[in-house]
Amino acid sequence: MGTGDFMILWLSSFGFILFCRVAPVVALRGRPLSPRVVDALGYIPPAAFAALVANDLLSPGMFSAGPWTGLMPLVAGGVVVLVAWRTKSMLWCCVAGVLAYVLLSLL
């Protein structure tokens, strides 16, 4: 692939992505969204974060190196859930998750 072909591909991809991001803003300018749509949009960040976490906790070969190496992320995730339930603090969840994983990896 030459430089010209690459630039055509890159510019067309850039233009399409820019259009997909700008078109809804321009189309909805000045129009209020319904409360149901606003509520539904509020679920996008937690759902994206849950997908990222689930991808790290559950992988196809997680038990291939042994049962304990597959269970460590799940146990550390359980600790994070308990800390989140008690404190409702993202900082303490992060600290607890890292500490739990480090301590479990030392066993």
Residue 3 DSSP class: H
Domain assignment present for residue 55? The answer is yes
Domain assignment present for residue 93? The answer is yes
Domain assignment present for residue 13? The answer is no
Token pair 């070969």: residue: 61
pLDDT (tens digit per residue) in 17-55: 999 999 988 988 888 989 999 999 999 998 998 898 888
Domain assignment present for residue 17? The answer is no
Domain count, the chain: 1
Residues 6+ apart with CB under 8 A from 72: 101, 104, 105
pLDDT confidence of residue 87: 94
- Domain extent, residue 72, equals 32-106
- C-alpha torsion 39→40→41→44, nearest 10: 120
Domain assignment present for residue 38? The answer is yes
Domain assignment present for residue 19? The answer is no
Is 31 buried (19+), middle (13-18) or exposed (0-12) by CB count in 10 A? exposed
Tokens of 13: 């991809």
pLDDT (tens digit per residue) in 60-88: 877 787 787 788 888 999 999 999 999 99
Domain assignment present for residue 88? The answer is yes
Residue 33 DSSP class: P
Token pair 């190496």: residue: 69
